[in-house]
Amino acid sequence: MSSTLFRTKKVEQSILDTEEPEHALKKSLSALDLTVFGVGVIIGTGIFVLTGTVAKNNAGPSVALAFAAAGVVCALAALCYAEFASTVPVAGSAYTFSYASLGELPAWIIGWDLVLEFALGTAVVAVGWSGYVQSLMDNAGWELPAALGSREGADGFGFDILAAALVLVLTAILVLGMKLSARITSLVVAIKVTVVLVVIIAGAFFIKGENYDPFIPKAQDVPPGESLQAPLIQLIFGWAPSNFGVMGIFTAASVVFFAFIGFDVVATAAEETRNPQRDMPRGILGSLVICTALYVAVSIVVTGMQHYSELSVDAPLADAFKATGHPWYAGFISFGAAVGLTTVCMILLLGQTRVFFAMSRDGLLPRFFSRVHPRFRTPHRPTILLGVVIAILAGFTPLNELAALVNIGTLFAFVVVAIGVLILRRTRPDLHRAFRTPWVPFIPILSVCASLWLMLNLPAETWIRFGIWMAAGFLVYFLYGRTHSLLGKRSETTVDDVLKPPPNGETP
């Protein structure tokens, strides 16, 4: 049984499966498109919200160093993703990579994990987008009925109609085609990056040097936590992390990591890229470098405009301009945030559907969902199904407490991909690798350690919820996926051919 659970799917077979007419995606993306996708999904709630939170509670002005540390963790993982995406240019990202290196059961586990990560990420961002839009509507004197606004503010029945509507509109765009999605993303990303650059350039004129003193505030011990909201590492070792000081920078890094989530989504579009061997590494690494530079610059400017102890937690960028007597910029930033979150939502939904599509094409989920649209060449069936489900989820469910699950799911994927690079280097040294992760095995091992460290800094409650989701995934796999696996059926056919008695009773 163990041999079937860890059977690997050859890279050549994965690529061959993408050429079946009914299951082939249209190749239309360039390196620029991929970079735009990456920037579009990374720059979101992190840069508009988390900057104030971690500066005020964890790191002070040194929040810039926290963003840099989180960027380094992502860069280590990005180097591993780039090798895999250029070597196995197939939809599914970490799921497909795991199938080629670790085996079917680990691939299922990571695929099931990615379904959770992208689904919750899409819903959380849609709800955040709804909040920004409602804020802009309030400024204009418009107000939605309480039952159709934010779910948090509703008494009794409540449905966030804006969040649900956004998901459904983006679902339709993804069904119509990747190139249309790329064009819309390019336009929105241009607006979003413009807003960020305005913050950096305009805010630089309002910086006061005394706001950086001290740049790394004196460390403050955090009271020991006993609840499930305490970091897992604190409950296991009885070690209390500190806010501020040098260790406060690393505590902040585990928080701002959420701001980088999404660059791995670029890898899910490998199969729809015209030249994946060349363009995937450029898209993944390029988008990460651009966003890290923007994050560091924004955090330096904002903590220079206003003392970190006075920063707003909800809207630090906008409120910092208000504090300097420039409220017009605040409205401009809120508009940019609302527009920018649409691309985050769309690209997370894109990643979700591509992983689901890849698992379906392998038979681990119903093959019904692996047929592409005859005209648009997109996986329309899983896109519509997941779009409707996520729209309902975003409309009805307050998701703030579940957002940490997105973090742990992403970090878990980072660990699996890094291990996969090590294994595939050993088992398939013959494969052509257009991009090779440097300093193997040092970089993958360092990536695993860094990701595990951030995972241990997440609340214990998050680990429990993650474990429940994984247990449900095991159940689905053993009840359906294992018996319907296309790789398993191919193996059985091969064995039957070998064992079949020769014709006319001849001795084989």
Q: Please tell me the predicted confidence (pLDDT) of residue 402.
A: 58
Closest by CA to 444, choosing from 465, 427, 423, is 423
* Lowest-pLDDT choice from 144-148, 354-358, 379-383: 144-148
Q: Please tell me the predicted confidence (pLDDT) of residue 41.
A: 81
Q: Please tell me the predicted confidence (pLDDT) of residue 356.
A: 93
Q: Could you tell me if 174 and 378 are in contact, meaning their C-beta atoms sit under 8 angstroms apart? A: yes
Average pLDDT over residues 338-343: 82
Per DSSP, what are the bridge partners of residue 494? none
Q: Please tell me the predicted confidence (pLDDT) of residue 155.
A: 46
Q: What is the band of 256 on the pLDDT scale with cuts at 50, 70, 90?
A: confident
For residue 425, pLDDT over 80 is answered with yes
Q: Please tell me the predicted confidence (pLDDT) of residue 153.
A: 46
Q: What is the band of 401 on the pLDDT scale with cuts at 50, 70, 90?
A: low
Distance (Å, whole) CA 393 – CA 455: 25
For residue 415, pLDDT over 90 is answered with yes
For residue 287, pLDDT over 80 is answered with yes
Average pLDDT over residues 490-503: 55
Containing 32, the helix (H) or strand (E) segment is helix 31-42
Q: What CA–CA distances, in Å, run from 249 to 11, 49, 132, 238?
A: 41, 17, 29, 20
62 vs 398, which has greater pLDDT?
Answer: 62
Q: How many CB atoms lie within 10 A of CB 140?
A: 7
Q: What is the band of 223 on the pLDDT scale with cuts at 50, 70, 90?
A: low
Q: Could you tell me if 490 and 129 are in contact, meaning their C-beta atoms sit under 8 angstroms apart? A: no
Burial class (CB in 10 A: 0-12, 13-18, 19+), 328: exposed
Distance (Å, whole) CA 103 – CA 421: 13
Q: Please tell me the predicted confidence (pLDDT) of residue 123.
A: 86
DSSP letters of 56-81?
Answer: IIIIGGGHHHHHHHHHHHHHHHHHHH
For residue 503, pLDDT over 70 is answered with no
Closest by CA to 45, choosing from 150, 121, 105, is 121
139 vs 396, which has greater pLDDT?
Answer: 396
CA 370 to chain CA centroid, Å, is 22
Average pLDDT over residues 98-113: 92
| pLDDT tens figures, 453-481 | 888 877 788 888 899 999 999 999 999 99
Angle of helix 94-101 versus helix 403-427 axis, rounded to 10: 30
Average pLDDT over residues 260-265: 76
Q: Please tell me the predicted confidence (pLDDT) of residue 145.
A: 72
| pLDDT tens figures, 24-79 | 777 888 888 888 888 888 887 667 767 888 888 888 999 999 999 999 999 999 99
In degrees and rounded to multiples of 5, residue 149 shows phi and psi of -100, -145
Pick the most confident of 210-214, 251-255, 264-268, 328-332.
210-214
Q: Which two tokens stand for residue 46?
A: 């992190």
Q: How many CB atoms lie within 10 A of CB 154?
A: 16
Angle of helix 276-305 versus helix 316-323 axis, rounded to 10: 40
CA 187 to chain CA centroid, Å, is 21
CA 437 to chain CA centroid, Å, is 21
Average pLDDT over residues 213-231: 68
* Lowest-pLDDT choice from 51-65, 258-272, 292-306: 258-272
Q: Which two tokens stand for residue 323?
A: 């504090």
Q: What is the band of 507 on the pLDDT scale with cuts at 50, 70, 90?
A: very low
DSSP letters of 257-273?
Answer: GGGGTTGGGGGGGGGGB
Containing 243, the helix (H) or strand (E) segment is strand 242-243
Closest by CA to 18, choosing from 231, 211, 261, 272, is 272
* Lowest-pLDDT choice from 87-91, 453-457, 498-502: 498-502
* Lowest-pLDDT choice from 28-37, 223-232, 341-350: 223-232
For residue 323, pLDDT over 70 is answered with yes
Give the chain's length: 508
Closest by CA to 37, choosing from 197, 268, 256, is 268
Q: Which two tokens stand for residue 418?
A: 């890094």
Residue with the two structure tokens 């807003």: 195
The rounded mean pLDDT for the chain is: 83
For residue 504, pLDDT over 60 is answered with no
